[in-house]
Structure 1
Amino acid sequence: MGMNLGSGSGSGEPEVMMDINTTPLIDVMLVLLIMLIITIPAQLHTVNLDMPVSKPATKKVDPVVIKIEVDANSVINWNGKPLASRAELELKLQEASLMQPQPELHIRSNAKAKYGAVASVMANAQRLGLTKLGIVGSEQFVN
């Protein structure tokens, strides 16, 4: 148990303190920290999106369906009515290509129909710009 009684010099002056006082430094640092926290903008957890403006739903228009059938004798039927020649088919396809909206062509062929007859119908439709083609009744060709 020791006791500090002062220096042994005998003079009445206290010893000079060699340590720096850090209390004011800490106070200044805390003030600066608080100012920094206050000036930072608040972070929002949202994403800003430019959404398109919705338009009222239009009436759903059922598409016009044209049924083209190729029977066993390679005769082409347009909506159930036989066509006399390929020129008549060409004329009907031209009329269909001018319709707005474009009609759907449902092509059904008999299993015994010639491939060339069905291929010519599809080629003519494609050449005239008809893009909505569908092959109907292909389940007969499974076996």
Structure 2
Amino acid sequence: MAMTYRRGDDSGEAEPMIEINTTPLIDVMLVLLVMLIITIPIQTHAVKLDMSAAPSSISPPPPPPISIEIGADGTITWDGRAVGDGRDLEERMKTVVADLLSQPELRIRPDGRAAFKHVIAVLAAAQRRGVRNIGIVTAGQFSAPP
């Protein structure tokens, strides 16, 4: 607030005249207006999503996982059926990766006493054939080598 004096009547006394200084208020209002102008485009930013429920866009359920078990003596079973040798294992993996869109997960279950080289052989065969979904299932019971 500013206080100025003005001349009164003929008496010569100056009377106080009180006015509100509006300059700081205008400055604050201009700053708020600029901030509003800057933030409005950010608030109206939208992400476009295609939410159509077309039946063709629904993907089929994933195929059931395939369980590969590695015994303590190095025997390999594919969903409970014995695998003959490395070539037979790779041929089975080849059929798995034939359908790239719905590739099932290979769950490798090594025995706790199985040699590490047998597990590596299965993983290497999967890598050579291009298997993408591999999981190693353990019970946390690996024993130390004798």
Aligned equivalents of 1:49 and 1:136: distance in 2?
43
Distance 1:142 1:115, change over 3 A: closer
Structure 2 residues without counterparts, runs of 5 or longer? 1-8, 12-36
TM-score, structure 1 as length reference: 0.62
Q: Within the alignment, does 1:74 sit opposite 2:71 as a pair?
A: no
Aligned equivalents of 2:74 and 2:58: distance in 1?
41
Deviations 1:64-119 (A, max 9, x none): 31100000110000000111111110110111111341110000001111111110
Matched residues, number: 105
Deviations 1:14-47 (A, max 9, x none): xxxxxxxxxxxxxxxxxxxxxxxxxxxxx79541
Partner of 2:140: helix, strand, or coil? helix
Distance 1:76 1:106, change over 3 A: same
TM-score, structure 2 as length reference: 0.61
User: Share of identical aligned residues, percent?
Assistant: 28
After superposition, where does 1:84-103 map in structure 2 within 5 Å? 84-99=84-99, 100-103=101-104
Partner of 1:98: helix, strand, or coil? coil
Distance 1:70 1:47, change over 3 A: same
AA at the equivalent of 1:136 = V
Structure 1 residues without counterparts, runs of 5 or longer? 5-42
Q: State the superposition RMSD in angstroms.
A: 2.8
| Shift of residue 135, structure 1, vs aligned partner | 0.5
Paired position in structure 2 for 1:112:
113
Aligned equivalents of 2:10 and 2:115: distance in 1?
122
Aligned equivalents of 1:75 and 1:117: distance in 2?
9
